[in-house]
Amino acid sequence: QKEVEQNSGPLSVPEGAIASLNCTYSDRGSQSFFWYRQYSGKSPELIMSIYSNGDKEDGRFTAQLNKASQYVSLLIRDSQPSDSATYLCAVKAETSYGKLTFGQGTILTVHP
Amino acid sequence: EAGVTQFPSHSVIEKGQTVTLRCDPISGHDNLYWYRRVMGKEIKFLLHFVKESKQDESGMPNNRFLAERTGGTYSTLKVQPAELEDSGVYFCASSLSFRQGDFTGELFFGEGSRLTVL
């Protein structure tokens, strides 16, 4: 079993729709959860972080965390073609001093 | 402000040769990390420097890999001798100093060095 699992996609949504990206993790000691966005050939860029159960909103992005279910998601509202990228879920264990465990990433395509 | 810079952006070498990758972190970032993504797999942690000291090198695959961070500034990752399975994209990242338990998670990544071993 992978430590952090994501559907690799590709996930295709029309412009203006809500894109829903999901991630599950196996280590119950995980404390911090992150979503990175990576455009092709570019560096991963942090877009959301979440540490406690519930929802966290930032503009068009909402991260959701459920530690009991070991599940974290990212919702992108009003999706734009510029949101087309690979979205990486990353997890940090409580004992980890900065080491992140990444999922394989979900490729998102937003078509006009 | 300059971001994390890595070079070369792409290196093609033959099996058995040596390659050295370089990373310049964001100025003032004490923490420097190396990660690697092999084709079709997830990005995996290799090691973590705090200034010039290795904080965690649990992800280094074997002793063919040597990472250094002289003077706590830039870092190099040497692969010697390179094997076919070493092909992939090597990412460097850096972050500000943090106290244990107070880490924000914001790693600033470089664009990666793509290594192809033939």
Task: Write the pLDDT tens digit of every residue in B15-73.
Answer: 999 999 999 999 988 899 999 999 889 999 999 999 999 999 999 999 999 999 988 89
pLDDT one-digit tens code per residue, B69-108:
988 899 999 999 999 999 999 999 998 876 655 566 688 9
Q: Is the pLDDT of residue A77 over 60?
A: yes
Contact A99 B56 (CB under 8 A): yes
- Band the pLDDT of A61: cuts 50, 70, 90: very high
Neighbours of B94 (CB within 10 A): 23
B107 shares contact with chain A (CB less than 8 Å): yes
The pLDDT value given to residue A109: 96
Pairing of strands A11-14, A106-111: parallel
Sign of CA dihedral A40, A46, A52, A54: negative
- Which pLDDT does position A31 carry in this prediction? 85
Q: Which of B102, B107, B111, B113 to mutate to test the interface with A (most CBs of A within 10 A)?
A: B107
